[in-house]
Amino acid sequence: MKKWMAIMLVLTVILFGSVFGFYLFKQKMIAQFMANRPVPEMPVEVALASSQDWQPAIESIGFIEPYQGVNITSSVAGLVTKIHFSSGDTVRAGELLVSLEADVEKANLASATAKLPAVKRQMERNKSLLERGSVSQTQFDDSEANYLALVNDIAALKATIERREIRAPFSGVMGIRQINLGQYVQAGDDMARLENLDHMLLRFIVPQKDISLITLGTEIELNSDAYPDQWFKGQVTTIEPTVDPQSGVVQVQATIPNTEGQLRSGMYASVRIWQPVQANQIVVPQQAISFSLYGESLYVVESQTAEDGSETLTATQRTIQVGERRGDVAIIKKGVAADEQVVVSGQVRLRNGALVRIVEDSFLNRDQNLPKD
């Protein structure tokens, strides 16, 4: 019995030893295979960092205001008896726009005007008689007062009638009519909008750090999405004398010629103020730049020669300092040199020091290179 137990124990030890030995051999072979396996190369698309002359610009967003614009209103209440304009009409300064009922005032004016010659003759007669002592000073004073009162009444009636004739304060284009014939309007009611479109004002803001770069007469350019392919030019005409202490910005106003009437008040516009050209600036595509909590970076493809003389390409991650951005490109102030290759596609799969191979953009976009579900 003891002999069989010893034999079983020996067989068990041999069995477990064989299994453990096979496991160790397997792990060794796997490690050897992985060590000899070539490191995969990640496909990337690259672009050259170029040295260019760069013209920086101060950029902002502004809104357009009329050079002259007003809501046409009446200073008195009354019934609309005649409308002398149509929506969209071009009118000149002083042109009659709306007439309010003034029949009573006109009748009173006609009556007072008719009385004026007789009252004036009576005053002149009393003046002559006063010089001869035929009338008293009081009689002359009364006749003179009657004459002056009538003159003032006539002037007041004329002013009242004029207030009931609403005229254009300046030349411009009428907006949509807000009143109808026979309508009773109150003082201050809007009748229509009048704007002079020959020139427009553009109001925008700039950071206080840029205010020293702007002076009266500085040329500006603006673009509106209403005319995406057209840039309008103007000049700075006003700079706010104070800086907003909460936001640290300064309001600036520019005047824009608008002879063709394309710009309209209320439009938002992109504003650009060109600055002197800066030579030899490093420019890269914006798609090469990655963002993180630690700053901005990109991958540069570098060539290395192995011991066997073969050449390999590696992606080196660099922290960069980005300057001005415009369109699809950006200025790199620090971190990249001219003619270096930067990764513009495929960088999401990279790590610092990874082996890469340069491919065309079409290769990266092919379906067979995408992971399958």
Q: In sequence order, what DSSP letters do the residues of 330-364 get, joined into one string?
A: EEEEES--TT-EEEEESGGG--TTEEEEE--HHHH
Q: What is the pLDDT of residue 357?
A: 86
Q: What is the pLDDT of residue 250?
A: 95
Tell me the CB-side half-sphere exposure of residue 325, using CA atoms within 13 A. 9
Q: Is the pLDDT of residue 38 over 70?
A: no
DSSP code of 177?
Answer: -
Q: Is the pLDDT of residue 303 over 50?
A: yes
Between 99-103, 286-290, 305-309, the lowest mean confidence (pLDDT) is in 305-309
CA 166 to chain CA mean position, Å: 36
Angle between helices 137-163 and 103-132 (to 10 degrees): 160
* Helix %, strand %, coil % of the chain (to 5): 30, 40, 30
Q: Is the pLDDT of residue 86 over 60?
A: yes
Work out the pLDDT band at 27, boundaries 50, 70, 90. low
Q: What is the pLDDT of residue 373?
A: 36
CA proximity to 164, closest of 92, 97, 90: 97
CA-CA distance, 165 to 184, in Å (whole number)? 14
What would the pLDDT profile of 121-156 be if each residue is shown by its tens digit? 888 888 888 778 777 888 888 888 988 998 998 999
Q: What is the pLDDT of residue 16?
A: 65
Average confidence (pLDDT) over 310-334: 89
CA-CA distance, 181 to 105, in Å (whole number)? 20
CA-CA distance, 64 to 256, in Å (whole number)? 9
pTM: 0.66
CA-CA distance, 100 to 83, in Å (whole number)? 9
Which architecture does CATH list for 42-54+278-368? Beta Barrel (2.40)
Q: What are phi and psi of 299, to 5 degrees?
A: -105, 130
Q: What is the pLDDT of residue 210?
A: 92
CA 89, 90, 92: angle at the middle one, nearest 5?
130
H helices of the chain, where?
2-36, 103-132, 137-163, 361-364
β-bridge pairing 354-358 and 42-48 = parallel
CATH of domain 57-95+167-275: 2.40.30.170
Q: What is the pLDDT of residue 2?
A: 60
Q: What is the pLDDT of residue 132?
A: 80
Average confidence (pLDDT) over 173-194: 94
Decide which of 1.10.287.470, 1.10.3720.10, 1.10.150.20, 3.30.365.10 is the CATH code for 102-163.
Answer: 1.10.287.470
Give me the residue spans of the domains in the chain: 42-54+278-368, 57-95+167-275, 102-163
Work out the pLDDT band at 370, boundaries 50, 70, 90. very low
Q: What is the pLDDT of residue 273?
A: 94
Contacts of 214 (CB under 8 A, 6+ apart): 58, 206, 236, 239, 252, 273
Check if the beta carbon of residue 82 is closer than 8 Å to that of residue 314: no
Q: What is the pLDDT of residue 364?
A: 41
